[in-house]
Chain A
């Protein structure tokens, strides 16, 4: 909670460093100085920073209020603008997440089982490409060439379910790669340990060992990152949503940046920071559930 408070406060203070010109929504030339000053005063930008910070927290905690949009839809509450967008992001994110887990984990398990064989090197090539290439580049090429090759629409259309295939594909590619990579690495690490050798010596078949022992232990470090990935996938990818023009939260953030809607950017940025902090917290809890040896309350003997 303290971390969250600090993080949000820091982000809020950083936003205060902005030049005030950007608060007039691109109409600063046509306004007189008194009008400008009035607007700024209304927004409370002349108050000392601790008053601003206090007001911000008071509004957020008591009313759940993140301020009003300036450019995109003048006077509308940011929260009201975000919520309908979040629905789309959630829909896409949830589906992509399922794909990521199903394909990614099984790919990692298979790569570890047949380590050094053809499938393993194929998977490694895929992981290498996804990790090394900037996401923008391969998304663009998928949008251009895969859409043509499969005859799919390039952009998202609300009433055309086929148009959802490509965005979901793009959303899951990165996650599949990282899931498979970590799963493979942890499983390979585990396989060299003594208890696995004992299990094999006891006469368990290798698939029994793989699923009952290796996978369960390999999953523990992955459990920590699970909630963060979940929250971020759901909160929408900045790239994919604006590339395929999906009306989601990521796209909204980009639009508000491009049109310089300060309060909107602030609201979105705060939201994303909050999501990441919550994700990390949930990740720790998740890890505790998966692994009874870890407890959050115990103070580790530092050195």
Chain B
């Protein structure tokens, strides 16, 4: 900004000339001539009478949190694709058991066309007229009749895998739901009621010190694994992280001015919590839920692996992978490991990506 800069002086002079010109043209064009007014189409205009209501209307930005979140999410093509994959997989896993001819495809003689979820664990025998009639069809490689082959005792891997997907997803969603509900509820209590703060903090310190692995091992060892016990064991520790986050958020938000005003105006506490506090944390709660699903599935695999998982009567992705693991020394039979492992990986990766993309989209700092 030097007064002696030749360059700047010249630029200033040019600028002034330009500004003058623009101002002149603007002054000239300020009014329409009578002729121009005549030539306008009167139908394009309407006369508006004075309205008191309209004068009171306040201008506001039409920013909507959820719409922006959705828009940001839709921008992430990969995540949208993954979401579609998840929806398709889940839809198919639910529908599959009720489709006609599951487990019998093309192989009708000797086998009743059984349907329904029970179908998954049925053992198929060779039909009459073959050389092994009556014996189980063990270790059949993938074919037209058994799309994913059969396992070591002659069960159809295709039905097993979809049934297992159902089990794993049920566990995953139940854990996610319990985690969200319990975590939010305790978090709100913890943050909102000051007398409980000490109690919950100490509880958190003690419980958080026990590693999740150990809790899971202990619970399933003590209670014997079944779907409800697995869900219980996994939700036993899962809620703590969320509760702590919500507690911190509540502490930050509860005494802000808008809450104070709300309380002064006589809003009951439950309404303050539901309307003022929870909306601020929805994105994180959703993220935790999305990540809890693959987490729960992963833990289920882990428990099956160390021998504490579901019994083989209840197919789950965990015990399918685990039975498939026994086949690694026979390259011919590796399909029994690969199919469940691939489905498992697709599900976990999709949930992980979608959850993260959603968390990014739900962060207001990314809304532009």
Q: Do A and B bind each other?
A: yes
Known: A3-B209, A136-B305. 9 other contacts (CB 8 A): A14-B219, A15-B218, A128-B352, A129-B349, A134-B298, A134-B348, A257-B221, A272-B211, A273-B210
Q: B18 interface residue, CB < 8 Å from A? A: no
Interchain CB contact under 8 A, A135 and B298: yes
Interchain CB contact under 8 A, B218 and A128: no
10 A–B pairs (Cβ distance < 8 Å), ordered by A:
A6-B206, A128-B353, A133-B345, A134-B298, A134-B344, A137-B321, A137-B341, A140-B321, A257-B306, A276-B214
Q: A11-B214, A17-B222 are in contact. Are A257 and B308 (CB under 8 A)?
A: yes
- B235-257: CB near A (< 8 Å → 1, else 0) gives 00000000000000001000000
Most buried by B among A4, A134, A143, A276: A134
Question: 8 Å CB contacts to B: which residues of A65-124?
Answer: none
Give Cα A24 to B227, complex, Å.
27
Q: A254 interface residue, CB < 8 Å from B? A: yes
Q: A141 interface residue, CB < 8 Å from B? A: yes
Q: A249 interface residue, CB < 8 Å from B? A: no
Give Cα A254 to B217, complex, Å.
10
- B306-342: CB near A (< 8 Å → 1, else 0) gives 1110000000000001000100100000100100010
Q: A10-B206, A140-B337 are in contact. Are A258 and B221 (CB under 8 A)?
A: no
Q: Which residues of B contact A6 (CB under 8 A)?
A: 206
Interchain CB contact under 8 A, A18 and B211: no
Give Cα A15 to B217, complex, Å.
11
Interchain CB contact under 8 A, B211 and A276: yes
Give Cα A280 to B206, complex, Å.
12
B105 to chain A, nearest CB (A): 28
Number of interface residues of A (CB under 8 A): 40
A273's partner among B214, B219, B308 (CB-CB below 8 A) is B214
Q: Which residues of A contact B341 (CB under 8 A)?
A: 137, 140-141
Q: A7-B206, A254-B307 are in contact. Are A14 and B222 (CB under 8 A)?
A: yes
B95 to chain A, nearest CB (A): 25
Which residue of the partner chain A has the closest CB to B212? A276
Most buried by B among A140, A143, A232, A242: A140
Q: A62 interface residue, CB < 8 Å from B? A: no
Interchain CB contact under 8 A, A269 and B217: yes
- Chain A residues within CB distance 8 Å of chain B: 3-4, 6-7, 10-11, 14-15, 17-18, 128-129, 131-137, 140-141, 143-144, 154, 232, 238-239, 242, 253-254, 257-258, 265, 269, 272-273, 276-277, 280, 303
Interchain CB contact under 8 A, A136 and B321: yes
Interchain CB contact under 8 A, A269 and B307: no
- Those 4 A-B pairs whose CB atoms lie nearest each other, nearest first: A132-B352, A134-B298, A258-B307, A132-B349
Q: Which residues of B contact A11 (CB under 8 A)?
A: 210, 214, 218
Q: Which residues of A contact B211 (CB under 8 A)?
A: 232, 272-273, 276
Give Cα A103 to B106, complex, Å.
53
Interchain CB contact under 8 A, A7 and B321: no
Q: B164 interface residue, CB < 8 Å from A? A: no
Interchain CB contact under 8 A, A257 and B307: yes
Q: B149 interface residue, CB < 8 Å from A? A: no
A265's partner among B221, B251, B337, B353 (CB-CB below 8 A) is B221
Interchain CB contact under 8 A, B209 and A277: yes
Which residue of the partner chain B has the closest CB to A16? B222
Q: Which residues of A contact B210 (CB under 8 A)?
A: 7, 10-11, 273, 276
Interchain CB contact under 8 A, A273 and B222: no
Which residue of the partner chain A has the closest CB to B299? A134
Q: Which residues of A contact B213 (CB under 8 A)?
A: 238, 272
Q: B302 interface residue, CB < 8 Å from A? A: yes
Q: B301 interface residue, CB < 8 Å from A? A: yes
Give Cα A6 to B325, complex, Å.
39
Q: Which residues of B contact A129 (CB under 8 A)?
A: 349
B183 to chain A, nearest CB (A): 21
Interchain CB contact under 8 A, A238 and B352: no
Q: Which residues of A contact B305 (CB under 8 A)?
A: 136, 239
Q: A15-B222, A136-B301, A269-B217 are in contact. Are A303 and B209 (CB under 8 A)?
A: no
Question: 8 Å CB contacts to A: which residues of B70-95?
Answer: none
Q: B297 interface residue, CB < 8 Å from A? A: yes
Give Cα A140 to B324, complex, Å.
10
A155 to chain B, nearest CB (A): 10
